[in-house]
Structure 1
Amino acid sequence: MKARVHVMLKEGVLDPQGEAIRHALGTLGFSGVEGVRQGKVIELDLAATDRAAAEAEVKAMCEKLLANTVIEQYSVELA
């Protein structure tokens, strides 16, 4: 089973990388971009075959390592 985890900064948390991207896009002529939030995607290949167990395991991974839940939010997709 494959899992994809999307990790983004929570709303209200300063995103300096997103702001740098927004500024760079403006200098390249893309002036209509008013905001950018930058995040990360983590893809996992899991041995689990039970969907509920896999989802619980990936959420535990996020809580313990993959996301800083104080300032980041995450979502999990299973395929």
Structure 2
Amino acid sequence: MARYVVDVMPKPEILDPQGKAVHGALPRLGFAGVQDVRQGKRFEIELEGEASDELLAEVQRMAETLLSNPVIEDFAVHVEGDGVGGKHTA
């Protein structure tokens, strides 16, 4: 079984109200020095078979089609445990 991770984040130029709310709350809770917070989504996808370039490409298509909104979000896909994989920044 292959496990892939898809991390989806708002593009840098897109406002992130959830990240701003967390950023504002952290100092009130005693956490100083935080410069910025951006909030995103993480998907863990398990597929039959061993990790391969073909499966990586399939997960990238999933991310482009359903898991992210390419107009306002970027995503990165990697095999869990290796930290290396495809990255998409539209």
Please report the TM-score for the alignment, with normalisation by the length of structure 2: 0.81
Residue number in structure 1 paired with 2:67: 66
Higher relative contact order (CA 8 A, sep 6+): 1
Alignment partner of 1:37: what SS?
coil
Deviation at 1:48?
A: 3.9
Runs of 4+ in 1 over 6 A off after TM superposition: none
Overall identity of the aligned pairs, in %: 46
Alignment gaps of 5+ in structure 1:
none
Q: CA deviation at 1:50?
A: 5.4
Q: Distance in 1 between matches of 2:38 and 2:60?
A: 22
Larger helix proportion of the pair: 1
Q: Secondary structure at the match of 1:12?
A: coil
Counterpart AA for 1:69: P
Q: Which residue is equivalent to 1:56?
A: 57
C-alpha distance 38-50 of structure 1, shift in aligned 2 (>3 A): closer
Q: TM-score, normalised by structure 1?
A: 0.92
Q: Quote the residue 1:38 is aligned against.
A: 39
Distance in 2 between residues matched to 1:67 and 1:48, nearest whole Å:
25
**How many residue pairs are counted as aligned between the two chains?**
79
Partner in structure 2 of residue 27 of structure 1: 28
Report the CA distance between 1:11 and its aligned residue.
0.6
Alignment correspondent of 2:83: none
The CA distance in 1 between the partners of 2:6 and 2:51, in whole Å, is 18
Structure 2: unaligned runs, 5 residues or longer: 81-90
